[in-house]
Amino acid sequence: MLKIHFAPHSRAGRIVWLLEELGLEYAVNRMDFHPKDLKSEEHRERHPLGRVPVLEDGDVSLFESGAIVEYVMARHGDGGLKPAVSAIEFPEYLQWFHYCEGMMMPPMNTVVVHTRILPPERRDEVVLGQAQRLLSKAVVPVNAALEGRDYLIGNFSAADIMLGHSLYMANKLGQVSDEMVNVKNYVERIAARPAFETAINL
């Protein structure tokens, strides 16, 4: 059985969401998002930096959420949630699948650090402001792409699991403006999916 090492409010939510969407059986090792769990000697054997998610599948142990999503899709996805390579949607699928980590998560990580993680005396308002502006700009092309669509490439796909999770978190952090109507509606749609509800409330 697949086993996911998980902490709430992290990218590990993507993996639980994916496993739920695919109807796969899995076990969860739920840890606190705290150094006592993530930086423990036991967990550092799974991930050298003490982070989540980590997936175990028999003798396979894998970290990095995007890599895990691709692995699960390839070995356990049975062709679901991903367009065929020959499909017209495939290039756009790849683009949005990787957009979250390339464009959204770097500034979002900085926002989280300077609003949630660091003590107030160590937070830098200049750095925070730069990150917030970058994150807001990163949302704009997604808002345009969602015009007339329920999901990123039309039908729900693993690209929505990757980028949709990031947009949900950005919105929760107050970094999606009311002008981004398509993204706001999109976040509501993904939040209403039963598989997402399971993952976000785990």
pLDDT digits (tens, 9 = 90+) for 159-184: 999 999 999 999 999 999 999 999 99
3: left (phi over 0), alpha (psi -120 to 50) or beta: beta
Q: How many CB atoms lie within 10 A of CB 74?
A: 9
Handedness of CA 116, 117, 119, 120 (dihedral sign): negative
pLDDT of residue 15: 98
In a domain, 184, yes or no: yes
| Domains in the chain, number | 2
In a domain, 189, yes or no: yes
pLDDT of residue 93: 98
The tokens describing 105, both together, are 């998560």
> Do residues 105 and 42 share a domain?
no
> Do residues 48 and 121 share a domain?
no
> Do residues 60 and 130 share a domain?
no
When pLDDT is cut at 50, 70 and 90, the band that residue 136 belongs to is very high
Please, are residues 165 and 17 in contact by the beta-carbon 8 Å criterion? Answer: yes
What is the crossing angle of helices 65-76 and 12-22, to 10°? 20
186-11-199 Cα angle (round to 5): 65
183 Cβ neighbours under 8 A, 6+ residues apart: 139, 142, 143, 146, 167, 171, 176
In a domain, 200, yes or no: no
For all residues of the chain together, what is the average pLDDT? 97
- Tracing tokens 């107050």 back to the chain, one arrives at 174
> Do residues 97 and 138 share a domain?
yes
In a domain, 7, yes or no: yes
| 53-101 pLDDT tens trace | 999 999 999 999 999 999 999 999 998 999 999 999 999 999 999 999 9
- CA 131, CA 87: separation in Å to the nearest integer? 36
CATH code at 177? 1.20.1050.10
Domain range spanning residue 71? 2-76
DSSP 8-class letter at 113: I
CATH code at 43? 3.40.30.10
Query: Could you give the dihedral angle defined by the CA atoms of residues 34, 124, 166 and 86, in that order, rounded to the nearest 10 degrees?
Result: -120
When pLDDT is cut at 50, 70 and 90, the band that residue 107 belongs to is very high
The overall longest dimension of the chain from CA atoms, in Å, is 53
60 Cβ neighbours under 8 A, 6+ residues apart: 71
